[in-house]
Structure 1
Amino acid sequence: MQILGLKLIPLTEPLHRRKEALAAGAYFAMFSYGGYLGVLFGVYLLFTRFWWLSLIYTCWIYLDRKTCETGGRSSPWIQKWSWWRHLRNYFPARTVLVPGFKLDPKKNYFFGCFPHGIIPHGPFSSLLSPGTTLQQIYPEMTVKIAPMEQFFHLPFVRELVLGKGGISCSAKSLTYMLTRPEGGFGVSLSPGGAAETMYARPGQHKLVLKHRKGFVKIALKTGASLVPVFTFGEIDLFDQIQHPLVCRFQLFLKKLFHFTFALPLGSGFFQTSFGLIPRRKPLFTVVGLPIDVVRVENPTQEEIDELHQKFIKQLVHLFNTYKYDYLVDPEASVLEFNNTLAVLTKCHLTNLFLKPYGYNP
């Protein structure tokens, strides 16, 4: 039913679907704005009789700042929350293992996940949550997710990310996790990061990968097998507002804080025309065959480039093979590799504007 152009959700919507929508909206809100609200709440407490709680927690964050670089601190209690089950069922999110896929519990694995989207829903729901296909087949494997380091400096959100199995995406943190001698560990990383967020729009399969080689270098230095992962449907969850002024502010934040933001256009709790809840689109996270990597203490640029090209080749093959199963218009869907500069050019920004922020065409 539509009223004033709004597509309303029927009042007869089953309760379980309402719970799923609430879980999806809470996930987006928590990881987008939760940390900043936590900071404001901490500042507010300083002006109340509970000021000492804010000071104690600030000291705790400082003393606990290295935990995200030494394997994190998972909480079985947090990992079993029904929140994650409702989030996975909302889309729904499914894991697809390619034929011949096999993991050795004595080895460590580095999952390179694309696309990033506004927020990576696919890898989070398909690789990290209990009850997924990967964890059912390989219960002995422990998979960690590596978001940007800023999450671990934000109050309250950091505890949730750590409890869910998060670690920092810094080289030190990834190296620590991927060199565990007992094996059986995996790390999920979205190398496209903040730059790829700017491309996240329905129908645009554009990846920031051409010049992203840091994760490949870490795979070589640790000897961890590199696993290409592609989530079909990730870019369909949100549209976003694109305007030259918005691009300017995005670039400013990326330069200053190494992350950026998007103005997402998703769904609402009572209507589907706009809102901050991701659209209810199916997510299929396809996990490709692991690329065996021989450990090299000091890899040369040639070795890094060779493995990087091999990863890209397998990722493209993964996309071209499975797009016929999971995309509505597979023939018109092409995987493109771009960089942030291409987004800015699309926003019609001039060289004079780009240079102050360190981008020279």
Structure 2
Amino acid sequence: MSKLIDPIASVEDDTKSPVSVPSSPKDSPRTPIVALKHKHEDKPLSRSSSLLDMLHLKDVHIPTPPAVKFAPLNVPRHRRLQTAVVATWAFMIPICLTVFYGSLIFSKWLRPLAVAYAIWFVLFDRAWVHRGGRRQEWIRRSAFWKNFAAYYPITTVKEADLPADGKYVFGYHPHGIISMGAACTFATESTGFSELFPGVVCHLLTLDANFWIPFYRDILMGMGLSSVSKRSCRSILKMGRSICIVIGGASESLYAYPGTNDLTLKKRLGFIKIAIREGASLVPVYGFGENDIYELLPNEKGTMTYRFQKWFQSTFGFTVPLFHGRSVFTYNYGLMPYRRPVTVVVGSPIAVKQIDKPTDEEVQAVHKEYIEALQALWDKYKDKYAKDRKSELKLVD
């Protein structure tokens, strides 16, 4: 726990007289200067008084930032490789943007190709909406993702078999900061999804904004990711395939404190309606430890940070949680996730009757059944995979 120290008290300058206060405008041709006084003292503050005194913050305790904890030099090679893989993915978006704009601006040989590529994906390519991306098994089974999952590590636990001839809507909880558990389980084969559920082809869904980033979009589509839009969801399910939606979305990332399990689910009915209209079974999924891989900075309701994040979310469709983790060379400062285990438990399927136009009562009934199944999943595995939890499962919104 960080030590708390008193801020350095200001030193009163005895060699100079305090600022005088004219008794009336007649005493001085200029506007009188009002002396600021410390709340515990009657005498006016001198010119050398600190800003903390002037703001009545002398008694405020300011926590001392923890000392930087550097990573040792004698780290095993396989752990160095895992860290390098995670660091590469953490900076994949700026890497892709640098390659694209570097080719566009600085290379006369690559510029025509960059322009043609931009025209193609902006005007013509909609695979991420209509076809579930361009899923490639060699990308999903790459050793890159094996090392990525081993870094935390991330593992997947199956509670029940899923018939290969069915189609499913997997609901992943919690969102965390970046949903690493969902990415490894449903967008790669690093945790053996196809071996656990043979014949089930699932597409992880994400925001449309990710598919407007050059090159990065192609990597995502190769992993089988697609748009989380209604059109995309129904298109994939009509193909006889399955989808995974991180239900809490951007709002839930604001509650992703380590050890907590606060979910945004009460008003999330869209995935229920899609499952009913397409006759797809619902499967609750819980990522134990998802909220532990980053440290979220305080953002209680009413604070400026919270208001800014909610405004940003309402304006741009996603939010910006303020968080920190570690880096390649330090263990307590940086933007890389911590090495903390994440166990993704895939629950039992909930059969859903297909209805083209479900009523509100029918949607609410299925939604209630889903919440009960998710609660049962939590209660069954919490003492095994969330031993150090600070709170129980709670629906906050």
Q: TM-score, normalised by structure 1?
A: 0.85
Q: Residue in 2 aligned with 1:345? A: none
Give the residue type in structure 2 aligned to 1:129. T
Between 231-240 and 58-67, report the one with greater CA deviation.
58-67
User: Would you say 1:74 and 2:130 are equivalent positions?
Assistant: no
Contact 2:325/2:337, CA 8 A, preserved across alignment = yes
Q: Residue in 1 aligned with 2:75? A: 13
User: Which of the numbers 7, 12, 24 marks the counterpart of 2:86?
Assistant: 24
User: Which of the numbers 87, 95, 112 marks the counterpart of 1:52?
Assistant: 112
Q: Residue in 2 aligned with 1:87? A: 148
Contact 2:261/2:392, CA 8 A, preserved across alignment = yes
Contact 2:149/2:190, CA 8 A, preserved across alignment = no
Q: CA shift at 1:64, angstroms?
A: 4.0
User: Which of the numbers 282, 306, 310 marks the counterpart of 2:341?
Assistant: 282
Q: CA shift at 1:29, angstroms?
A: 2.9
Give the residue type in structure 2 aligned to 1:74. R
Between 126-135 and 265-274, report the one with greater CA deviation.
126-135
Give the residue type in structure 2 aligned to 1:152. F
Q: Distance in 2 between matches of 1:144 and 1:263?
A: 28
User: Would you say 1:199 and 2:258 are equivalent positions?
Assistant: no
Q: CA shift at 1:44, angstroms?
A: 5.2
Note closer, same or farther for the CA distance 1:76–1:234 as it changes in structure 2 (3 Å cut).
Answer: same
User: Which of the numbers 327, 330, 335 marks the counterpart of 1:268?
Assistant: 327
- CA offset digits 1:318-352 (Å, max 9, x no partner): 1111110011235x53111123xxxxxxxxxxxxx
Q: Residue in 2 aligned with 1:109? A: 168
Instruction: Figure out how many residues of one structure are paired with residues of the other and give that number.
Output: 326
Give identity over the alignment, percent.
Answer: 33
Give the residue type in structure 1 aligned to 2:135. S
Q: Report SS of the residue matched to 2:233.
A: helix
User: Would you say 1:333 and 2:333 are equivalent positions?
Assistant: no
Give the residue type in structure 1 aligned to 2:89. Y
Note closer, same or farther for the CA distance 1:292–1:155 as it changes in structure 2 (3 Å cut).
Answer: same
Q: Distance in 1 between matches of 2:88 and 2:347?
A: 30
Give the residue type in structure 1 aligned to 2:381. Y
Moved over 6 A (4+): none
Q: Report SS of the residue matched to 1:227.
A: strand
Contact 1:127/1:135, CA 8 A, preserved across alignment = no
Give the residue type in structure 1 aligned to 2:391. S
- CA offset digits 1:85-139 (Å, max 9, x no partner): 00111111111112xx111111111100000111011121123322534311333
- CA offset digits 1:154-176 (Å, max 9, x no partner): 11110010001111100110111
Q: Residue in 1 aligned with 2:297? A: 241
Contact 1:25/1:278, CA 8 A, preserved across alignment = no
Q: CA shift at 1:144, angstroms?
A: 1.0
Q: Report SS of the residue matched to 2:354.
A: coil
Give the residue type in structure 1 aligned to 2:166. K
Q: CA shift at 1:37, angstroms?
A: 6.0
Q: CA shift at 1:42, angstroms?
A: 4.2
Q: Distance in 1 between matches of 2:164 and 2:316?
A: 37
Contact 1:65/1:153, CA 8 A, preserved across alignment = no
Contact 2:187/2:225, CA 8 A, preserved across alignment = no
Q: Distance in 2 between matches of 1:10 and 1:145?
A: 37
Q: Which runs of 5+ in 2 are unaligned?
A: 1-65
Give the residue type in structure 1 aligned to 2:72. P
Q: Distance in 1 between matches of 2:162 and 2:278?
A: 17
Give the residue type in structure 2 aligned to 1:233. G
User: Which of the numbers 316, 321, 331 marks the counterpart of 2:380?
Assistant: 321
Q: Distance in 1 between matches of 2:99 and 2:314?
A: 27
Root mean square deviation of aligned Cα:
1.9
Give the residue type in structure 2 aligned to 1:137. L
Q: Distance in 1 between matches of 2:113 and 2:180?
A: 33
User: Which of the numbers 204, 217, 221 marks the counterpart of 1:162?
Assistant: 221
Note closer, same or farther for the CA distance 1:233–1:174 as it changes in structure 2 (3 Å cut).
Answer: same
User: Which of the numbers 246, 266, 270 marks the counterpart of 1:190?
Assistant: 246
Q: TM-score, normalised by structure 2?
A: 0.78
